[in-house]
Amino acid sequence: MLFIKPEELKRGMRLARPVYNNKGVLLYDINTKLTRQGLEGIRNFGLLGVYVLEPAEPAPVLTEEDIEFERFQAVAVYKLKEEISGMISGDGIKDIQKLSEDIIRRFGREKAKINFLKSIRSPEDYAYKHSLNTAILCAIMTVNMHLSYMEQVNVVTAALIHEVGMAMIPEKILKKSPNLTEEESYIISKCEIEGNELIQHDYNIPSITRIIVAQNFKEISGKTEEERKLLDGTKVLMVADVFDTLTAMNINGEPYSDVVAVKYLLSEPDKYDSRAVGALLKGINVLNPGVCIELNNGEKGLVIRENEKNILEPVVLSFKQNKVYDLSDENKNKKISIHDVMKTMDERVPVDREVFNELMSHVENGDIKE
């Protein structure tokens, strides 16, 4: 799967992700082969880019849950846009808490991990889609941290409104980023400040929600835990905010993989709360069975067993050596680690579920040696 900018798309490329309109109606399905008309349609959407399949790459199978997740994102982002537009225009928020409760009802309940699918974004809707996805992550994380329902509502609402300032930035500047003049950089900073002030002065927003937003933007580098005095909701928002920023389509560049984002979060324990990071990893699939990876020794392989204790140390099967590595075994594999997921999938070996289960039974019976 590759991230391709609109101007680099070509006829015959196949979509790796479906595209929906604001009503949740499917416009282009997964595995759709782009025609000239399709290219023009996607370019007219003003998207930052789309994910496409490589020539030899099979289309991933989306579950009903995955499809419903994508459809919910497509519809909910426009509800959020109406709410934030109301804040900016002075009309105020109306149903933001209702949207928060809907997100919590869908994602803030204890259940199995989900495939967190990144939304396709344009400069115009980046702030809204980023805020929505951050809110969904917050809902997933808060249940795993066992926060109360009201704490869930406060942090999810904070996530939905925390980028009001970005939504105030003129469209022409957003499209121009990152090649900005000094004046344009000043306008962005001014919008961010005004957005935060708008949130703090809107007393229809609960005070705890406003505190979480304010703390999320506060500089905490070099400060002790006592000096920070961050709410649990703030710790959740900080992790969700940076994870979505790193892994989603970016105004300034290509997205990072979930693995790289997780490594970054774990490398900054003084900034990102370990409980919050753990709650994130407990709720979304990152290195689950079937994911193709690159090891630091140059080998490519397949994750065949997840490691709940340390997500970055699963059991993997090397394609080259036909050998199983248990990356949690320091005695055998202390120098081997996961570098990243495979960027190009043409070397991937498609394995159906029956073959995969048979392979796992051989590993468990000791027929394939580590």
Model pLDDT for residues 109-157, shown as the tens digit of each residue: 877 788 887 777 777 788 898 999 999 999 999 999 999 999 999 999 9
C-alpha–C-alpha distance, residues 76 and 217, integer Å = 25
Q: Which of 281, 235, 228, 233 is nearest to 258 (CA)?
A: 281
Q: Which of 129, 122, 134, 132 is nearest to 174 (CA)?
A: 122
Contact 130, 245 (CB under 8 A): yes
Contact 100, 153 (CB under 8 A): yes
The pLDDT score that the predictor gives to residue 177 is 65
Q: Which residues of the chain have pLDDT under 70?
A: 22-24, 46-48, 177-178, 219-228, 250-253, 343-360, 362-370
Tell me the sheet residues that pair with 294.
300, 340
The pLDDT score that the predictor gives to residue 360 is 66
Per the listing, tokens 């997100």 go with 103
The pLDDT score that the predictor gives to residue 347 is 47
The pLDDT score that the predictor gives to residue 295 is 92
The pLDDT score that the predictor gives to residue 285 is 92
The pLDDT score that the predictor gives to residue 255 is 83
* Residue 118 exposure: Cα atoms within 13 Å on the Cβ side: 25
The pLDDT score that the predictor gives to residue 121 is 76
